[in-house]
Structure formats: structure tokens, C-alpha cells
Structure 1
Amino acid sequence: MTSESAHSSPVIETARRAKEAAAVLAPQPRTARDGALLAIADALVARTEEIVAANAGDVAKARAAGTGESLVDRLTLTPERVTAMAADVRDVVALPDPVGEVVRGSTLPNGLDLRQVRVPLGVVGIIYEARPNVTVDAAALCLKAGNAVLLRGSSSAYATNSVLVEVLRDAVASVGLPADVVQLVPGESRESVRELMRARGLVDVLIPRGGASLIRTVVEESTVPVIETGTGNCHVYVDEHADIDMALDILINSKAQRPSVCNAAETVLVHAGIAETFLPRALEALTQAGVVVHGDTAWQQAGPGLVAPATDEDWAAEYLSYDIAAAVVQDLDAAVAHIRRWSSGHTEAIVTTSQAAARRFTQLVDATTVAVNASTRFTDGSQFGFGAEIGISTQKLHARGPMGLPELTSTKYVVTGDGHTR
């Protein structure tokens, strides 16, 4: 469906309004955009009771539908969580403004002045799952970068998102900017998502945030350009020259510190030269952390009864749970070969005291982030010092890795002459 053929669609009309609002927002100075964000932060605090009441309805419906408690927790907003969202918006205000930054520039031999400058993307569509905090986070980051944003959360959070977007729109309008720079995509059906994905010419880019199925659907079906935020089948490779205590700390942190996120480790690979010493200690540490090991023959022999046999499904899995796949490999090159076959290209880590091994691993592994003697959990916009992120891109065009404010912009060339003709 194109924007021309769907002139009567509420989704397309929403996108049209967003495009008009984006044109008004783009030339606004930083003070105007930051003023809108500060108004949003204040409004969230002032209308906390209204937000939490709407959220309680969504939570009750989720529980009645038999939704698991971990998902219910991600859906739930408390007064403390709303206050934290407002604080996060204020943090975005303090970040450097990417709009207008000169990426490169020079005076050409013919005297023309050439500058490549950052400009807003325009209209950004965000398709995401249960967490309503994404509604505020995504809106704040898009506005800071001068973009209008179309928010399409899951139906499970529809009441919460409706109130949140109303709060955001009222706050933006209160400082004289078009309320339509923030809009909730109308409708709770999959058809509304499909229309958004086909609004090419009105929506400049789509960013899906969620599980593998959601991301795959958006990437495969969208005619709007997509920045693919990826699943995380992340590996920790323990090299022959690893410090065992360090390797255990990194493995447990990578897997068990927060297993439900995309930068958690899902597979551990161990060099055969260190396996006899490392495997028993690793099994003990993983078991104490509540992690179920799905291992190859070497791991099964190291802990009879403790290790489930690993299959290709395990090597491919993004568990997002207290499970980990485990294998012993003959050498670093075998570890790299395993990673090349099964990795989602998110984050891969090596633990080693050998500079040569670290250098070879970082050269051969193709991922957004390669960590040397550090947890996979550091692949995160705030941990990288970006202040915030819209997601972690696992593709290679436009943006790769944690996407901060600069990744929510494009560039244009400004050519200034003095009557120059070619």
C-alpha cells in the first residue's frame, strides 16, 4: 500500500501530519527542542497518577490473559518508574546537539566552500513491543535529533501508550511546537503495522525494537527503509591463554547479570588446551548462577547429569533466559569459524592474556562490537558514553552498534560559491 493509494487511511493521514510537522521542527534551534524535552519531563511527573492508572488497566489485562510475570514486569509502570523516565528525558537534554554538526568540510581548488552537515532524518517510525518506557525514550531521542516520531507499540500497552503520547503531545504544544511531531500510530491490528511499513515517501525510516520475529517481519515486509536492531546470539570465547578467574567473572556477568537482553551471552566456547581446568569451575559457577548448560560431548563429560546435549537449535538460539550453549574448540580459528556460522553479528568476546590472540580475534570476527577481556553486557549506548540509545543496529549501512543521537540524523552537503559556474 502506498501513500497515494491509501489516502483515506488513518495511518497514512497520521504519517502525512508527521511529515508536515517534521518540516517545521527541522530548522528549530536547540533551545526549542530542549525546551520541549524539559516540558515533557515536567509533564510526566505532573501527570504520573494518570499514567499509572492507565497502565494498571493494561497490566490487569495482561495478567488475565496469562502473560508471564517477566513480561508483566516489563509492561508495568510505577510512580518511581515514571520519575525515572522523566529523569532520562532530562539527561537527553544535556547531550550534545547533533543537528548542524559539520562532519567534514573544505575549500575546493576552485574556491567553492564545501561542508557536510548533520540534518534530521525526518519522520522516524518506531515499532516495538511491551515496554512503555520505550514510548518516552524513543520520542525524546527523536525530538532531540530534530525528527518527528511515529510510535507503534504493542496492543498489550495500548492504554498506557495512548496516555503517554497525549502527555508528550500536550507538552510539546505548550512550548509552541507542532504536537504532531509525536504521534501514536492509530489502531491495534497488524494491518496498522503493515500500513506504516508501506508508507514510503511519508516515513523516512523504520526502527523495529523487539524479538527476532518482529524484526524479521519488519525487515522482510517493509517498503520504508529499515534500520535493523538485531537479536543477540553473543559468544564468549575463553582462549588457551585466559586468566581463569577473569574468564569466570566475565562469563557469569555476560550470561547471568541480566539474561533477557540482547547483549547477554548465549554461547561459551573454550579452547581445548584449557578445557580440563576451566570446565569444572565454569560448570560450578554457572550452576550456582542458575544457568542451564546445553553442551557438546566435552561439556557433558565434565558434568554428568548437569549438561543437556547441545543441538544446532542451541547454537542458533537467542535464549534470553538462564540457558547457555557450550562447546570446546580446538583453537582460536575453530572458535572464529563457529562464531561466523552462528553469530547474529551483535557482540563477541574473547578472554585472553595473549595480545596476538586478541588481535587475531578482533581482526577475524565480524560483529558490531568485539570485546577483549570484557563482558558482552557493555554493548550499550549509555555504557559507551553516548548518554542514550534508540537501539543496537546489527546491519552495516547507515548505523552499526549502539545508536545514539548522531545515528538519528542524516547528512547533506552545503556548497557555497561566489557566482561559480561549471
Structure 2
Amino acid sequence: MQPSLILAACALATFWQSSEIGKGKSGRDFALRLRDLAESALQGSLNAGWIDETLAQAAWILALFEICAHPLHSTQRSTSSMVMLDQIIQTLSLTSIDSDDPSAAVFSPRRVPRICSEQKLTQKTSWTPVRRTEHCNCAVMSLGHQWPSAFEHTPLWLSTPAWDENWSEGEIRKESCRRLSWSSVILAAGHSSYTTAYKANGLDLFITDPANYRLLFPGEALVSSHHCKDSIWALNYRTMLLWLACVRMRHDFQATDSEKADFGMTAWLEVDALEEALNNHNCGLERAFLFQGREYLFNTRMCVSYEFQRYIPLATVNVRGMFHRKKAEEWLTHQATVAKQVMHGLHTVTGLGGGGGLIQRPFFVFWFMSQITRALSLWSCDKSLRVALDVSRALLAPIDYLTALWPCPGKLRSRDVQA
């Protein structure tokens, strides 16, 4: 095991215990020292050519550390940590460890990442997606169902896919690499969502290109079924890949108008298909992930309607102006609900008991801030959407709460002013 993994884990654990009502400034300072030691150990391993999946795990933890509101947080630090994680994953080819498995999803370069049935496209603007799950088995496949002791030992992981106790060490390591890769997609999508909200330049990473994936989804190795690509976990990651693909195409200056029009129309159809697939789930696990998938579907709709509308006939995709009015109202209503509920405890949103309240989520502050920016962006396009202003005010409450608990000089104040 890499020394940097141990140090990084200690740094993050220490930091999450060091809010103003926890270990305070001394704890945060100690966490930052541990973080620096972890980075030094990681660099040492890189220089020595000792690169394995545990080094990638250490890099992932350090990237998560850098997106938290800590005293030294900066765009440069968070960007650097993401680039380091991306380079290690690419070096190890972790996103293609299932390249010899015919059931692993494969996505074409510069195309919308989608999973179709064997039936071919019947016409340019319609296609048949994988048959939707008639009986949702996600809850049965979850860690909480398969391993009752998880309620005591890992209460916040109850809704994640289970691990097969009969797997060999090699199979366990392979599944660990899969989940590390998909967890990196979460960080990359979150980073992209934040920079896009503020109209900043994003990162051109290896892990943000769907064409680089030959990888089973988390939990897919548990069951030999093509329908696992419609599990709640797979759908969440598919929405993130779709979002990342749209952002990439948005900055692809070599793409022709025709290619962007085709991409935008196909992406819009894929959003509808993924939303339908999410609606067909009755497992109740979606809330445990804060409805992340739907967040990225809305982001994608905004991206398509804003960035690609000049290439697409508006009647074709039912877009009016910059965004779809009905979807915007639904998103704003959801944001208002989340803003109110999180102040009564994160479990009121996720449905998960145990610890792990908002106080232990210092990375949420940037998410809330980007949501304010998006809400105000919607209002600037349609002044009749006054609910966007109400949502922005409501989101200030968790932001104020988190910034009081997790001081982040300069950075947070400047973002609040921009919002």
C-alpha cells in the first residue's frame, strides 16, 4: 500500500473533524500538514516509478480534499489535484480494464455516449434505448441488503452496490479499480459543473472523454444482465458522461455545424431517455445520491439549449429560448426543497440515518454557490421566473452555515459577491 494513501486518508479524516465546532483551526492546520506530506509521498512514488491503483486512490482523496472549503483552497490547487488524478488513471489505463469484456459499454469518439439495443436507428431523430427495468432490483443489490453489518460499520454506504463475498482477490481489486474510475467521474463532473456555472475554463481531462471507457458500471459484475446498465448507479454515471460529452463538444472548434446539430439533437433525446429510465425506478435509492443524475440532466438541457440552439430547429427539441421552461421550474422547485431540508439535517434529503450531516460536507458550499449562479442565470433569461430569486435566497442559508463552520478566506466571499 502506498504511504500517500494512508497520509491522504488521515488528512481528509482529520479535516472533516475540524470545523469551527470540532477540532477548529488547529485541526485544519494539522490536516493541511498531513495533506502536504501525502502529496510529497505521492510525488516520491511517481519519481520512483511506483505507480499502482493505491496511488490513484491517494490522488483521488487529495482531489476530494482540494474541492473542500479549507483555508488554502484555490482554483489552482483543485485544478492541479484533478490533473494529477487524471494522469495516474490514464497511466494505469484504469478506465479500460474491461476492454476484453464484450458486455462493457463502448462509446464512440465525439458522439453522444448512449447505450442502445441491438435494434438499429430507424430514423435520424429517434432510437430505441435499452429496455427499461420492469422490476427494479437495485435495493436487493445494495450493500445494505447484502451485508446487514453495513448498518453498523458503513451506514453511509448502504445504498452503494454490494461486493460479492466469493470474489477472488484479483476480482476485488478489479472492482475496486472500476469504482475508483467512476468515483473520479463524479469529481470531474462536479468540477466541470462548477466551472461552467461561472463561465470559467474547464479541464480537458482523459477521464472526461467517454470514448476512453471500456468499463463495467459499479455493481455490474455482480449480475450477468444487460439491464444492469439501467441500474440506478449506472444511470447516474451515464448522466455524468453525457454532461461531460456535451461540455467537450461545446469546446470542440473542429466540429462542423452539422455535427453539432446532430450531437445536440441526439443529446436531447438521450436526456429524455435517461430521465424516463430514472422515473422507472422504485428502489428509492436515488435520493441517497441527492438526485445527482437529474442535476446533470438539467445541466445538459441547459447546455444543449444554450450552446446548440443555433444549430437545431427549436420545434424539434421543444426548447424555448435558453431553456425548457417546465424543466426549469421543476429544477428550481427541487432546489428550494433541498435548501430548506438540508438545514434540518442531510438525512432529510438522502433518507440515510446515522452521522454525516451537512456539517461534515465542506465541499457542498461550492455546489450550493453554483446552484445560485444557475438560478440567477435562469432568471436573467426570463424575469417572470421569480421563483429563481426565492431559490437563490433560500440557498444562502446553507452557504452561510457552511462558511461559518469552514472558513475559506477570500474565495467564498468573492463568489458570494459574484452570485
Pick the TM interval, shorter chain.
under 0.3
- Rg bigger for which structure? 1
The structure richer in strand per residue is: 1
Give the structure-1-normalised TM-score: 0.23
The structure richer in helix per residue is: 2
Give the structure-2-normalised TM-score: 0.23
